[in-house]
Structure 1
Amino acid sequence: MGKKVDIDWSKLGFDYIKTDLRYISVWKDGKWDEGKLTEDNMLHISEASTVLHYGQSCFEGLKAYTTKEGKIQLFRPDRNSARINESCKKLLMPEIPEEKFINAVMQVVKANKEYVPPYGSGATLYIRPVMMGVGHNIGVKPAPEYIFTIFCMPVGPYFKDGLTPCNFIVSDDYDRAAPHGTGGQKVGGNYAASLQAHAEAAKKGFADCIYLDPATHTKIEEVGAANFFGITKNDEFVTPASPSILPSITKYSLLYIAEHYLNMPVYEKEVFIDELDQFKEAGACGTAAVITPIGGIQYKDNLHVFYSETEVGPITRKLYDTLYGIQLGDVKAPEGWIYEVK
């Protein structure tokens, strides 16, 4: 394994760190250029870019891991490629060919390999692909040009306490997405719309808020910027179904792991907020946090506690250990899930 930069990996949070190189490619006159690596971490764009005025942008998040043997590997980047293209289609932006996307991710990781945290450090390399509308345009219409860029940085746990239960509060006053809107895509506007609700939840002492479905406010949709799952008293893995939920790669990986590794029945279905009693464990899942156990959910005047506010439930821990083990190369992965960076 090559020499690493001098970083105290154990003290990393989820913060921006400038690494050596990033990738940038431009779409213009109906086609993509070849793309290149650059040291410049500043983007130079028109003041009339649609990304600035009309929110024509989307992004992805994935990670690179170091195995015990010192190999560097990616976890399901083909799914990130597919998802960013769904977001691009929704916002009338050109799609990024899968080969171009994965090759660009590989280039960025290889160019910054000394920033990939070592095995056993608890840290990972977070990779952020971004697509945005640029060029001179002031009308409300798709941009004449697009930038696709990828940068990366080493990160620690998204929630500073790692695999420790957090409490969440149901948002009565805010919706994350509109019915038939962009909730199912990873677009910038979804996150801008969540800032106020998150700030108010944090002010009340909660990790984040739970969003209910915008049409009826009766069903759980997302947990902040993550997907929800629950373990029923019958040991079933349940996660909400809705067109407004971002299709989390972590969630779909957990659905597979629960069924094929832990032999649990799995269901993607409506989860009603007034039926929390069916769950003995619950969690939030996503690329950044992997799994955050949910200690309790505050709904109106009641704090519903699942397994414990301080201890991780046994099935949640098994799910985490299996998924993280696959990502680190310690557990055999399903075919096609792991891409080695050579």
Structure 2
Amino acid sequence: MIQRSSCLKTLIQSLRVTTPSSSPTKLAAYNCYTSQPASSLQEVSKPSASSPSNGDEYADVDWDNLGFGIMPTDYIYMMKSSEDGSFEKGQLNRYGNIELAPAAGVLNYGQGLYEGTKVYRKGDGRLLLFRPDQNAIRMKMGADRLCMPCPSIHQFVDAVKQVTLANKRWTPPPGKGTLYIRPLLMGSGPILGIAPAPEYTFLIYTSPVGNYFKEGFAPLNLYIEEEFHRASRGGAGGVKAITNYAPVLKPITRAKSRGFSDVLYLDSLHKKNLEEVSSCNIFLVKGNTISTPATSGTILQGITRRSIIEIASDQGYQVEERAVPVDELMDADEVFCTGTAVGVAPVGSITYQGKRIEYNIKAQSVSKELYDILEGIKTGLIEDKKGWVVEI
């Protein structure tokens, strides 16, 4: 049996939630933020000797027509656990298929997690990461839930930096998209009985992407699902387990065949409170109050979600994390979704029990205001006071 220390102690030390001070000022408040290294996580890693040596600034890609799909890049990053559960030094490998035993834990029992973050290119060519340490912390939480060892926060962030630099030419020009980073942690060792795998693989691949939804920046049309549930209490809905996603494929496919963008789920216990959309968290706006379902074990703790909560609080909004009854959709002034892939996306309509609720999307909406600030910080157009941006 693999002997390893729990990730819990590291989490307690690492999860320092900063309570933002409320301020009535709007966009101007962010213009005074200074971009400075906040910790050792922001020290630039030296590219491996395996990094590409060619001088091509950009890969041969039609940057104006990027969708959200797989486009193989030059390199992936791989790191395996040792017998005691710790992770050894990883390395960059050429992009390609990987080999797994038929009895691998991830294939037989779904022992796997994934993360997602993006790389932005500035006009001067510099690359920016957004809060990669938070992805590392969330992976640790998921690893603890699924009985897996995991890379340290430093190892995770350093690996993301290495694979980003190795695939720099695949990072789209400013305003044309982003380089999507997909870290995976899986039970790669063979196991027949239901038990933790004897070996684990940490892997990162990348792909240049455009907008997640085919509608682009058009308002989303959501369908509230009542027959199926995304997660239940005591399950793994609060972590980014791979097993959370296959069960939502059927309701998503059904909803999209009816012309909807995505599915909004209700809680499985009472079937009356909002949970989250298949790929993102949800927010309701009423006056100066912004409400979002509390992450109580069934809802993923989105990094974009947490960032928007902090930005909104800084902007003087009252933000509530609580149980949000589905009936409140009727009176909401505005509804929007947040996520790494979707960013901040306004909702144009929600259909529930055969009734369609429509929202008037204004040019100066709350979601647009928060989106502009968040994207400004991510892309370096607004200086970063919070230490969220890592420049490499």
TM-score normalised by structure 2 residue count: 0.83
Q: Deviations over 1:6-25 (max 9, x none)?
A: 21212010100110011000
- Aligned pairs, how many? 336
**Aligned partner (choices 196, 204, 217) of residue 250 of structure 2:** 196
**Aligned partner (choices 186, 199, 223) of residue 145 of structure 1:** 199
What displacement does 1:292 show?
A: 1.7
Q: Which runs of 5+ in 1 are unaligned?
A: none
Q: 2:348 and 2:288 mapped to 1: Cα distance? A: 18
1:275 aligns with 2:339: no
**Aligned partner (choices 69, 78, 84) of residue 24 of structure 1:** 78
Amino acid across the alignment from 1:238: S
**Aligned partner (choices 350, 357, 362) of residue 297 of structure 1:** 350
Q: Which residue of 2 aligns with 1:134?
A: 188
Q: Which residue of 1 aligns with 2:316?
A: 263
Q: Deviations over 1:48-103 (max 9, x none)?
A: 00100110000000000012332101000010000011010000000210110000
**Aligned partner (choices 103, 111, 114) of residue 59 of structure 1:** 114
Q: Which residue of 2 aligns with 1:340?
A: 391
Q: Which moved more, 1:165-174 or 1:327-336?
A: 327-336
**Aligned partner (choices 272, 291, 305) of residue 238 of structure 1:** 291
Q: Secondary structure at the match of 1:52?
A: helix
What displacement does 1:178 show?
A: 1.6
1:11 aligns with 2:62: no
**Aligned partner (choices 307, 324, 337) of residue 284 of structure 1:** 337
Q: Secondary structure at the match of 1:48?
A: coil
Q: Which residue of 2 aligns with 1:322?
A: 373
What displacement does 1:335 show?
A: 2.2
Q: How does 1:107-122 map to 2 (within 5 A)?
A: 107-121=162-176
Q: 2:237 and 2:267 mapped to 1: Cα distance? A: 10
Q: Secondary structure at the match of 1:331?
A: coil
Q: 1:266 and 1:333 mapped to 2: Cα distance? A: 22
**Higher-strand-fraction structure:** 1
Q: Which residue of 2 aligns with 1:249?
A: 303
Q: Which residue of 1 aligns with 2:127?
A: 72
Q: Is the 8 A contact 2:120 2:379 kept in 1?
A: yes
What displacement does 1:332 show?
A: 1.9
Q: Is the 8 A contact 1:25 1:147 kept in 2?
A: yes
Q: Secondary structure at the match of 1:211?
A: strand
Q: Which residue of 2 aligns with 1:96?
A: 151
Q: Deviations over 1:228-263 (max 9, x none)?
A: 01111x221211113210000001100111111x22
Q: Is the 8 A contact 2:291 2:320 kept in 1?
A: yes
Q: Which moved more, 1:272-281 or 1:137-146?
A: 272-281
Q: Secondary structure at the match of 2:283?
A: strand
Q: Which runs of 5+ in 2 are unaligned?
A: 1-54
Amino acid across the alignment from 2:264: I
What displacement does 1:333 show?
A: 1.9
What displacement does 1:279 show?
A: 1.3
What displacement does 1:200 show?
A: 1.0
Q: 2:334 and 2:139 mapped to 1: Cα distance? A: 31
Q: Is the 8 A contact 2:272 2:325 kept in 1?
A: yes
**Aligned partner (choices 101, 123, 130) of residue 46 of structure 1:** 101
What displacement does 1:2 show?
A: 6.5
Percent same amino acid among aligned pairs?
38
Amino acid across the alignment from 2:317: M
Q: 1:84 and 1:322 mapped to 2: Cα distance? A: 26
Amino acid across the alignment from 2:242: G
Q: 1:324 and 1:41 mapped to 2: Cα distance? A: 32
Q: Is the 8 A contact 1:65 1:74 kept in 2?
A: yes
Amino acid across the alignment from 1:254: I
Q: Secondary structure at the match of 2:351?
A: strand
Amino acid across the alignment from 1:332: E
Q: Which residue of 1 aligns with 2:22?
A: none
Q: Is the 8 A contact 1:297 1:304 kept in 2?
A: yes
Q: 2:70 and 2:363 mapped to 1: Cα distance? A: 29
Q: Secondary structure at the match of 2:333?
A: strand
Q: Is the 8 A contact 1:163 1:312 kept in 2?
A: no
Q: Which residue of 1 aligns with 2:280?
A: 226
Amino acid across the alignment from 2:152: P
Q: 2:330 and 2:262 mapped to 1: Cα distance? A: 21
Q: Is the 8 A contact 2:119 2:181 kept in 1?
A: yes
What displacement does 1:40 show?
A: 4.1
Q: Deviations over 1:129-179 (max 9, x none)?
A: 000001221110000000000011110000123221011111010000121
Amino acid across the alignment from 1:62: T
1:214 aligns with 2:265: no
Whose RCO is larger (CA < 8 A, sep 6+)? Answer: 2
Q: Deviations over 1:193-251 (max 9, x none)?
A: 1111111111111111110011111000011211001111x221211113210000001
Q: 1:318 and 1:331 mapped to 2: Cα distance? A: 13
What displacement does 1:331 show?
A: 1.0
Q: Is the 8 A contact 1:210 1:220 kept in 2?
A: yes
Q: Is the 8 A contact 1:258 1:266 kept in 2?
A: yes
